[in-house]
Amino acid sequence: MTTIEHWIDGALTSAGSTRTAPVHDPATGRRQAEVLLAEPSDVDTAVAVAGKAFESWSNSSLTQRTRVLFAFRELLVRNEDELARLVSSEHGKVVDDARGEIVRGREVVEYACGIADALKGGFSDQVSRDVDVHSFRQPLGVVAGITPFNFPVMVPSWMHPIAIATGNTFVLKPSERDPSASNFVARLYAEAGLPDGVFNVVHGDKVAVDAILDHPGIAAVSFVGSTPIAKYVHERATAAGKRVQALGGAKNHAVVLPDADLEFAANHLTAAAFGSAGQRCMAISIGVAVGDAADGLVEVLERKAREVKVGPGADPASDMGPVVTQAARERVLAAVDSAAAQGATVVVDGRSLTVEGHEDGFFVGPSLLDKLTTEMDAYREEIFGPVLGIVRVDTVDEAIALINANPYGNGTAIFTGSGEAARRFQREVKVGMIGVNVPIPVPMSYYSFGGWKDSLIGDSPIHGPEGVRFYTRAKVVTTRWPHTEAGFNFPTSS
C-alpha cells in the first residue's frame, strides 16, 4: 500500500505522523493508498521551515520570483496530462474536466507572473514644503491554505502563486481525500527553482487544521469549503490574530426567461449541473424557469440529462465520473429520496444507476427534479452532487426575489435575449458573481473570486487584486530632506 507523505523543506517526509487515512479510487471503490495525517508537531516543523525560508525569499527580487513562476507555469503545461490523470484517479472526475481545472489554476500563475505591476506603490511629491510621501507593500510572512477535495489543483492555485509571488512562504493543507496532486505541484515548484521551504504540503484532518488556525507563526489563512467550516475557520483564526479568507458553500441559481434559446440554455445548465458530478461550489443546482419557459425547458433538460454518459473518469467516453466517496453518494441518493417524498417530480432518476464492471464504484446518475419549492430539503441544502432542481415562477421579479431570499450568494446566471432584463438582473440580485448567458461565472484570474452572504465569511475575496492585498500589507513613508550647507567657520551657540 502506497503511503502519501508530507512535503516539507523540499522533500517528502513522514515527519512525526503515525495516523493515516484511506485514499480511494472512486471508480472502483477500492482503497488505492493511504495518506499520513499530521500531528501539531508536524505543522510546527513546516512552519519553522517556512519561517526560515521567508527570511531570504522575502528579500528576493521580483525578477527572481517571477522567473520561478514562469518556469513553474511551463512545467504545469508540460505535465498537464499526467497531473490530470492523477486528479481523476483520486477525485473521480473525468480527465478532460481535470485538465480544465489545471488550466484555470494556471491562469492565476500567469497573473502572478506579472505581479510586479500589481505591487507598484504610489508617490506624491511636495505634499508639504520639501515633504514627499510614498507607499509600498510588503509580504506578511508564513501563510497557509486549507483546501477542499473538489478542485485539488485549481483551488490551491487561487492561493499559493500570489502568496509566493508577493514574497510570502506557504503551507498547504489539502483535502485528505485526494492528496497526491499537491505533492505533484510541490515537485514542479522544486523543479522550477523555488527554494526549499517556500512551498510546503502538510496532509491531515481536523488536528492539522486546528494546529494551523492556532499557530502563532502563521500570519494568514485562506480557506475554501462548506459554510459551517468557513465560519469556524474565520472565528478561530481571527481570534488567533490572523488575516482570514474564508469562502463557504453555495446554492447557485440559473434563471431562464421565455425569450431564451432553450437548447442553448439547457446545454449549459446540463454541463453546469452535472459536470464534475455536481461537486463544484459554482455548480448550477437550481434552474429557475420563468413563465412559459418552464415546460419547454424541462423537456429539453430531460433529454440532455439522459444523454449524459456516466463512467470512470479515465474513460474518454465518459461525460461524468463518480462522486468522491460512498458517503457523498449516499447524500445524493438521500436528497433525491427527500425531494420525491416532499412532492417534487423526479423527471430523471439517477439513483439506480450502475456502471458495468464498476459496481462497487461511487456512481450516481444525473437527477432532474421538477416543481421544486423553497420549502423542500433539496432546495434548501447544498447537495454537492449531480442533482438539478427546477423551480417555476411567473416573472423575473419573482426570480430575483427568490435568489435574494436564499442565504447563499456565490454565483448566479440568467439566460435571455433581453439586454434590459439582463441589466436589471445583474444590478438587483444580491450575489457576488453573475453570468449573463454564462452558467458558471468564475472570473478570470485578474479579477477576484468571492460571493456574498453565507458564501463569503468576512470580507476577503480570493486571487486577483484582492489576493495581492490579502497577502501583503502597506507601508506609507513620509520624507523630508532639508537643505544643509557645510561651513568652515568655528561653530557657535547661534
Contact 493, 487 (CB under 8 A): no
Q: Which of 137, 143, 203 is nearest to 169 (CA)?
A: 143
Contact 333, 350 (CB under 8 A): no
Contact 66, 115 (CB under 8 A): yes
The one-letter code for the residue type at 398 is E
Q: Return the beta strands (E) in 291-427 as ranges.
A: 345-348, 367-370, 387-393, 408-409, 411-415
- How long, in residues, is the chain? 494
Catalytic site includes residue 281: yes
Cα–Cα distance between 380 and 398 in angstroms, integer?
17
Q: What angle do CA 192, 6, 328 make, to 5 degrees?
A: 105
Alpha helices in 6-157 (DSSP H): 40-57, 62-78, 80-91, 95-113, 115-118, 154-157
Cα–Cα distance between 38 and 24 in angstroms, integer?
19
**Residue 10 backbone zone (phi > 0: left; psi -120 to 50: alpha; other: beta):** left
C-alpha cell read off for 383: 447537495
Beta bridge partners of 136: 475
Q: Which of 90, 113, 115 is nearest to 34 (CA)?
A: 90
Q: Which of 411, 360, 389 is nearest to 249 (CA)?
A: 411
Distances from the Cα of 197 to the Cαs of 5, 60, 164, 337, 438, in angstroms?
16, 14, 11, 49, 40
Alpha helices in 132-291 (DSSP H): 154-157, 160-165, 180-192, 206-214, 227-239, 262-274
Cα–Cα distance between 217 and 142 in angstroms, integer?
7
Exposure string of 196-205, with b = 16+ CB inside 10 Å and e = fewer, is ebbbbbbbbe
DSSP three-state, residue 478: strand
Of the residues 281, 324, 402, 413, only one is catalytic, namely 281
Contact 104, 442 (CB under 8 A): yes
Exposure string of 284-311, with b = 16+ CB inside 10 Å and e = fewer, is bbbbbbbbebbebbbebbeebbeebebb
CA 181 from centroid of its chain's CA atoms: 15
C-alpha cell read off for 358: 464498476
DSSP state of 94: -
Active site residues: 281
